[in-house]
Amino acid sequence: MVAMHNTEPTVDDDGAVEAGIAVTLGWCAYRIWRRRTATAPPRMHDSTSEGSRHKHVELLNELARLIGEHTHSVELFQRWVESAGTDPRQPHADDLDVSSQVRRMRAANKEFDRCAESRSTEICDAADRDPQLFRDISVRFSDHREKTTTFDSALSRVPVGGTPSDLQQLTFESLVGVLESKSRLERELADARKVIEEQASRRRDAERDARIDSLTHIPNRRAYEENVRGTHSLFEHQGITYSLVVL
């Protein structure tokens, strides 16, 4: 509250008069601002882009993890086939027979397909919201799933009791296809992650520059108003009475 007095100002009261005018003007400015904010909902910080960025990063990380786990199984299978086909007498090539290796690899393919199916809708939604970022990823991911299905079909044709040579002959082409599609998809994921990081950096720079006067490099009116709104919201939420003085 601002106290008002009816005493006539004297020469010695000049400083007090100036202070009283400043306080009164500040109080009036606050009342005008309060009426404006009372009739319109307070502007909130736009977090949509930031929220989308976090979701996109989480999706990219999950896809990279999914691809990495499946690729690990594929590469182990590839090394076993190559070593068994070169020299079947090697101990690490005889630890499992061909049928066991096929069952293990097909189980890994099935788990990958299950996880990929659970993410396919999310990838399509992301491609619809941000086609520039996720369109190529969606295409590469579908291609990788098709290559994995082709590879699994080749595994299903390996006869029971077949030899490592049979396994290598039946699966070589489709196995190479899986590894090649994996490499293309990983490049797309890495490029998308780089784009998201660059977008976040530009957004932070733009938000910082929007609050700084380009000539004086000090906080501008926008920064002042956001600070006032934030402080008011905090005090109002906590039920604290305060005064605003503008000099």
pTM: 0.63
Query: Where do we find the tokens 């990983």?
Result: 186
The yes-or-no verdict on residue 94 having pLDDT over 50 is no
Q: What pLDDT does 9 receive? A: 45
33 falls in which pLDDT band (50, 70, 90)? low
> What pLDDT sits at residue 228?
77
pLDDT digits (tens, 9 = 90+) for 195-225: 888 888 888 888 777 777 777 778 777 777 7
Q: Convert 141-177 to b/e letters by CB count within 10 Å (16 or more is b).
A: bbebbebbebbbebbeebeeebebeebbebbeebbeb
% of the chain with per-residue pLDDT over 90: 32
pLDDT in tens, 176-197: 999 999 999 999 999 998 988 8
Q: What is the predicted pLDDT for the residue at 44?
A: 36
What is the arithmetic mean of pLDDT over 85-90? 53
| pLDDT(140) > 80 | yes
CB contact at 8 A, 60 and 193:
yes
- Name the residue among 170, 169, 174 with its Cα closest to residue 157: 170
